[in-house]
């Protein structure tokens, strides 16, 4: 397009962007083609600054290909041009690139000299992000030279700059994105502190590493939890708030259309167009969200929450609880075991090694417990148990376990890992048999949750169950309703599907079939069994057509202590558009909005102590470095719910209904806490077939409060 309107300058810039994307994708040859094209165009338009940046990009490709001498020649030409045009920031970036080449070749002194020169330039032009990155490079070179204290000084300065930049970003989504790009700075600091701990075990460096790991985790969730009980929209321009509501409504409508089209797989052009509309509306929504926060006097008055130090972490634990926190790293991973009165650390294998075993285990557990995968399950479970649990085996007896996982470990049910050294009838016993297990995105989020819930008025009613929605117009329940409705309608009125005539929707659901939302017949049995257990307590039963979006958004839902959804879940690439699938048609077969999306869950303002998501993969979400899994579980926490039970993979309808019956019997009849009741249900299911893959019972996990 730029070429068509004869704008060679921006055509060159765009060619460079294409090259950088290709380089990021590992397509070095085509990246080089794009950069060479940009180089020619930059010379045609006589833009020497652009030419300098392009030579640096070409040098980056050559360095990636291992051609160090050729890369260095390109960098030197680029540096000369930058100096000629007095572009200090550009020169600094090139000096960093030259420093990296020197560091790779083992010339640490040369690397340090280039980094120091680049740092002075970054500071002179007030490029805080560039300064933070250069300090990281300096710290890396000094660490590799054995100068650990000097490396610590530089990386701490780098982290300080990162925090300053981060707090100036109002959009939660952009904060998450920014932290993801600089997360390796925190990872480096944790690794450095643990190396210093090895050199001086009594210096308290492993405690600093734990505190840094907490500092880097779930930061945006932590900040959002501070907003839960604050009306940040008070005092904001009403016109902006109206615009926010309109954008959200349009976004939900377009996302629903996109989901319906994806299920048909017959209109790729229209689907592509709607996808672009969804992305545009989502971008607008996030931008308005930032403007609301910028205008909000109450948001401006909020103080930034501080992640806990060791003393604060221990204050949140009781005598019976052991916190096990993990941090996966490129070269080495680490873990910490913390009790009310003690703390210790341990070294683990690199991320790649742990990931290999974790992937095998997840595949074996999630594929309906296929008999052919029994050996894979046992091998991977034993390997992970040895890696993750043996270092803390002496701490396990008699303890409740609170797991703060990292990376792929967020997908693994620790309940199904064999407990080190414990066997029964020759079989290794799963960890859940002797331990209550809960998960958290960070222990700091629990502290904020507890503080926000302190003094909250308790819900006055016990249980709301939303189950067995109607997904399709050819559902037999629709036909039965039509017969009833027709007797009441005038003769010239026919029950129509309405303007939305697309085919049934597609998703990842609770049953084993993707794409189509099939009815879940056992979810009705599940609902009635749970309500029967509740007996005389105050309950709400919303099933069939009543299991709709109106019921989920009704302010009356706030009166219930437990909210139970038994239906399908929808996972979307943009977490805000993930959600719970409710009735998609009314009694006359007309299509209706039935998606309770994450952006709506955020605003529910619930008083519930527990939400149970009896649906598929509801514990999952979009994984981001540092922030963790962003999905439905996090949405309900933001809405004020201290604990959520959700699933890690697709689960069978029948076995889920059975599991939930055990869970509610323990919770309502035996008065067990949700985490204890979950363990009771899991043990009951395990006892029915101790040698089988624990597919059906280990899928469910409890995240949040255990008290």
Q: In a 3-state reduction of DSSP, which class is residue 608? A: coil
pLDDT number for residue 265? 56
d(CA 417, CA 409): 12
Task: Find where tokens 């009403």 sit.
Answer: 238
Task: Find where tokens 């049953």 sit.
Answer: 511
User: If DSSP states are collapsed to H, E and C, what string results for 152-203?
Assistant: HHHHHHHHHHHHHHHHCCCCHHHHHHHHHHHHHHHHHHHHHHHHHHHHCCCC
> What phi-psi label fits residue 705: left (phi over 0), alpha (psi between -120 and 50 degrees) or beta?
beta
What burial letters (b/e) apply to 665-692, b meaning 16+ CB within 10 Å? bbbbeeebbbbbbbbbbbbbbbeeeeee
d(CA 484, CA 498): 19
Tell me which residue of 580, 577, 540, 586 sits closest to 560, measured CA to CA: 540
d(CA 214, CA 697): 30
Angle at 232 between CA 231 and CA 236, to 5 degrees: 115
- Sequence-distant (6+) residues with CB within 8 A of 112 are 99, 138, 141, 142, 145
On the CB side of 363, CA atoms within 13 Å amount to 12
d(CA 236, CA 230): 13
pLDDT number for residue 92? 95
Tokens of 162: 């990162």
pLDDT number for residue 298? 67
d(CA 144, CA 151): 9
pTM for this one? Answer: 0.84
d(CA 153, CA 189): 10
Name the phi and psi angles at 11, rounded to 5.
-65, -40
d(CA 193, CA 56): 34
- Sequence-distant (6+) residues with CB within 8 A of 594 are 469, 471, 548, 549, 581, 582, 583, 584, 585
Block means of pLDDT (10 residues each) for the chain, length 707 residues? 93 96 94 95 94 96 93 95 93 95 92 95 91 95 94 96 84 83 93 96 95 87 71 79 84 76 64 82 83 76 77 94 95 96 96 94 80 82 95 95 94 94 80 95 89 85 94 83 44 27 32 59 90 90 93 92 92 82 90 87 89 87 81 88 91 87 94 96 91 87 93
Name the phi and psi angles at 120, rounded to 5.
-60, -40
| Helices vs strands, H then E, count in the chain | 26, 18
């Amino acid at each position: 397009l730029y070429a068509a309107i004869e704008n060679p300058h921006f055509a060159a810039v765009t060619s460079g962007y294409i090259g950088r994307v290709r380089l990021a994708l590992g397509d070095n040859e085509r990246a080089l083609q794009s950069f060479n094209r940009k180089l020619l165009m930059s010379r045609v338009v006589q833009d020497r600054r652009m030419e300098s940046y392009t030579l640096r990009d070409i040098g980056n490709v050559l360095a990636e290909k291992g051609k160090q001498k050729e890369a260095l020649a390109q960098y030197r030409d680029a540096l000369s041009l930058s100096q000629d045009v007095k572009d200090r920031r550009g020169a600094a970036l090139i000096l960093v690139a030259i420093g990296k080449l020197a560091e790779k070749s083992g010339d640490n002194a040369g690397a340090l000299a280039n980094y120091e020169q680049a740092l002075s330039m970054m500071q002179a032009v007030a490029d805080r992000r560039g300064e933070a990155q250069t300090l990281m490079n300096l710290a890396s070179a000094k660490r590799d030279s054995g100068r650990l204290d000097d490396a610590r000084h530089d990386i701490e300065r780098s982290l300080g700059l990162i925090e300053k930049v981060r707090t100036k970003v109002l959009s939660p989504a952009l904060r998450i994105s920014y932290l993801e790009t600089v997360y390796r700075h925190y990872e480096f600091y944790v690794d450095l502190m643990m190396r210093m701990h090895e050199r001086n075990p009594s210096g308290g460096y492993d405690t600093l590493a734990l505190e840094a790991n907490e500092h880097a985790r779930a930061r945006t969730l932590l900040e959002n939890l501070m907003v839960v009980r604050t009306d940040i929209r008070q005092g904001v321009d009403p016109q902006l708030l109206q615009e926010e509501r309109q954008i959200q409504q349009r976004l939900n409508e377009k996302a629903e259309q996109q989901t319906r089209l994806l299920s048909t797989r017959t209109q790729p052009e229209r689907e592509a167009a709607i996808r672009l509309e969804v992305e545009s509306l989502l971008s607008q929504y996030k931008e308005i969200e930032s403007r609301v926060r910028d205008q909000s006097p109450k948001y401006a008055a909020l103080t930034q929450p501080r992640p806990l130090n060791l003393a604060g972490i221990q204050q949140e634990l009781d005598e019976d609880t052991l916190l096990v926190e993990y941090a996966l790293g490129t070269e080495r991973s680490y873990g910490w075991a913390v009790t009310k009165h003690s703390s210790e650390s341990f070294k683990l294998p690199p991320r790649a090694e742990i990931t290999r075993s974790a992937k095998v285990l997840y595949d074996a557990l999630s594929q309906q417990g296929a008999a052919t995968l029994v050996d894979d399950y046992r091998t991977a479970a034993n390997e992970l148990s040895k890696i993750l649990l043996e270092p803390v085996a002496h701490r396990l007896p008699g303890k409740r376990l609170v797991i703060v996982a990292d990376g792929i470990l967020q997908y693994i049910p620790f309940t199904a890992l064999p407990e080190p050294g414990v066997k029964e009838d020759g079989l290794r016993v799963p960890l859940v048999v002797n331990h209550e297990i809960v998960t958290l995105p960070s222990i700091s989020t629990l502290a904020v949750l507890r503080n926000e819930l302190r003094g909250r008025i308790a819900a006055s009613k016990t249980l709301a169950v939303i189950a067995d929605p109607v997904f399709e117009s050819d559902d037999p329940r629709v036909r039965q309703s039509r017969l009833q409705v027709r007797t009441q309608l005038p003769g010239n009125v026919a029950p129509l599907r309405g303007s939305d005539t697309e085919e049934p929707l597609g998703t990842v659901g609770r049953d084993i079939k993707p794409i189509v939302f099939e009815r879940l017949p056992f979810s009705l049995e599940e609902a009635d069994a749970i309500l029967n257990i509740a007996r005389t307590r105050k309950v709400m039963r919303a099933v069939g057509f009543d299991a709709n979006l109106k019921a989920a958004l009704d302010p009356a839902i706030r009166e219930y202590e437990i909210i139970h959804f038994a239906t399908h879940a929808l996972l979307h690439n943009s977490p805000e558009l993930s959600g719970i699938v409710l009735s998609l048609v009314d009694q006359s077969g007309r299509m209706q909005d039935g998606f309770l999306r994450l952006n709506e869950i955020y605003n529910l303002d619930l008083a519930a102590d527990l939400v149970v998501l009896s649906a598929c993969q509801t514990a999952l979400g979009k994984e981001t470095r540092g922030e963790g899994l962003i999905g439905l579980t996090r949405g309900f926490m933001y809405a004020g719910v201290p604990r959520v039970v959700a699933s890690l993979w697709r689960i069978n309808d029948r076995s889920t209904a059975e599991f939930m019956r055990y869970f509610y019997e323990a919770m309502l009849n035996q008065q067990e806490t949700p985490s204890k009741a979950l363990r009771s249900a899991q043990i009951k299911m395990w006892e029915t077939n101790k040698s089988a893959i624990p597919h059906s019972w280990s899928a469910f996990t409890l995240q949040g409060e255990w008290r």
